[in-house]
Structure 1
Amino acid sequence: MPLRKANATVQPPLAATGKLGIDAGSVAGFDIYSRVRGGISERNEALAVLAIGSEDSMLYSVDLLAGKASARGRFSRNDQVRDIAIPLNQD
């Protein structure tokens, strides 16, 4: 499953940036946190909750330029996590 970049000024507006490197199932959540100072985004942090087959959901960081997902941790089998939202107060 490739990560896609949106650009409304070109056709087609979505372009693949790279593959996640894992075969994620249909239960998935994704969020991007942008640190903004003076109206300019200084840093982006992308996190995803993905489940592969019948395995437990795991937290991944996602490289927005390459598209690659890297495992950050596993959720307990008792916790069925389907989505993620990153709080704005990260600084």
Structure 2
Amino acid sequence: MGGLTAERRAAREEIRLEAGRRFARGDRSLDIVKDLRVRERSVERWRRNWREGGMEGLMSKAGVARTVRSPRRSHPSSGRGCCTAMAGPLPDLASGTF
């Protein structure tokens, strides 16, 4: 079973909380990225969570799985059929019967 150990989760949480303290001070995201050696996207996500939930919004949520995105839909001509609802002939819109 994958995932982080409790020790690694705590270390990452401390980085997020440090970022939260810096958000409260008004530090710029790029300064936080550089100083904490994290990705800009992570800091942007953390800042959004901090705005919505304060420091509590930055806390670890142990045991909570990430949302899984649905697979990308392929183009109908690829033969992998994503549009089964559209199978069959197109309706005759001019006749008004569909």
Q: Which has the higher contact order (CA 8 A, sep 6+)?
A: 1
Larger Rg: 2
TM bucket normalised to smaller? under 0.3
The structure with the largest strand share of the pair is 1
Query: TM-score w.r.t. structure 1 length?
Result: 0.25
